[in-house]
Structure 1
Amino acid sequence: MPALLKKVSTITEKGQVTVPKSVRDALGLGYGGRIAFYIDENRHVSIEKEIEEEDDPVVDSFLSFLSRDMEKHPEHIQEFPQALRQRMVELTKGMQVDLDDPIIGDVTI
């Protein structure tokens, strides 16, 4: 597969590399952006923009609330209803899910 873009950088004495502007632009990287390096079995290197998980203060607060409530009131914790569990099994029968796959599109919680 031909490359869309090829740029060359030089490694400094300290092992640093300047990422060319055209590469930064293509990856959507700005100052302080992070990149991940991947090396395959053939020693081919690819880079990607590192997507950092953003903390959501509302979600963090809600999860903390749930955690405190479960510790204070363990008697309120109930088993997942069998009928709902069975319905979930029926609805997802034959589906293959990789929990490590990225979620595509917007997600609203």
Structure 2
Amino acid sequence: MSDVQAPRFEATLTDKYQSTVPAAVRQTLHLGKRDRIAYVIRDGQVILEKVETWDNQVDPAVQAFLGFLECEMTTNPQRLKPFGGEATRRAAELVEGVEIDLDAPLEGE
């Protein structure tokens, strides 16, 4: 085993047991705002891992579209309309009788 010490980064817990992930750790794990992290306890030590989710892998085109929608909703809230009435009836009609197994493997898996 090597005598070289691994880098060590400290953080302080708040009254609500929260802390800030140090910048060097965020950079190493390529963490961004709203990313998820996991704490893995192994042999009395805690390992911090980035959780890879669909949210972490959003297509840039989808991200741009979502940004557009956010901007549009903020600047033109009068354009927002509730989803109901005829639209709800039509949506229900379109999926009537369709059965979905959420546990089934996706095509190509």
TM-score normalized by the length of structure 2:
0.45
TM-score normalized by the length of structure 1:
0.45
